[in-house]
């Protein structure tokens, strides 16, 4: 079965650079979520989109922005990167109307040097 696809899988950036992470949800899933997981920590909810509109917002820094496109894929844009942004970034998707059960992608490992 098709799963959530994230790209790139690994990304290395310098401080103050920008990064764009991409997420392709499971087909027919219209809701996308972004999470940040630091070393030894639990995933922290950043932001979610339903039908291309932002549906909820968590602890997403102002330096980050995200959007969902007409094909339901989503992009997380990160600017003025800081060392503390180094983490695993997971995207999850869910079909609306199924209680919100979320299925996670393999993650993008971002390292900021």
First-to-last C-alpha distance (Å) of the chain: 36
Site track for other proteins across 42-61, x = CB under 8 A: xxxx--x-x----xx-x---
Q: Which is nearer to other proteins, 56 or 82 (CB)?
A: 56
Residues 6+ apart with CB under 8 A from 99: none
Q: Which is nearer to other proteins, 79 or 109 (CB)?
A: 109
For residue 87, count other CB atoms closer than 10 A to its CB.
Answer: 20
Nearest approach in angstroms of CB 48 to other proteins is 5
In eight-state DSSP terms, residue 71 is: T
Contact segment (CB under 8 A) with other proteins among 13-21, 22-30, 74-82, 100-108 equals 100-108
């Amino acid at each position: 079965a098709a799963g959530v696809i994230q790209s790139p899988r690994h990304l290395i950036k310098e401080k103050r650079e920008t990064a764009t992470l991409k997420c392709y949800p499971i087909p027919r899933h219209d809701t996308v979520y972004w999470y940040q997981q630091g070393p030894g920590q639990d995933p922290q909810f950043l932001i979610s989109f339903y039908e291309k509109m932002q549906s909820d917002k968590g602890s997403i820094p102002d330096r980050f922005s995200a959007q969902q496109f007409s094909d339901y894929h989503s992009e997380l844009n990160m600017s003025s990167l800081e060392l503390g942004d180094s983490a695993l970034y997971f995207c999850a998707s869910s079909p609306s109307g199924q209680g919100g059960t979320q299925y996670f992608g393999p993650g993008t490992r971002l390292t900021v040097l």
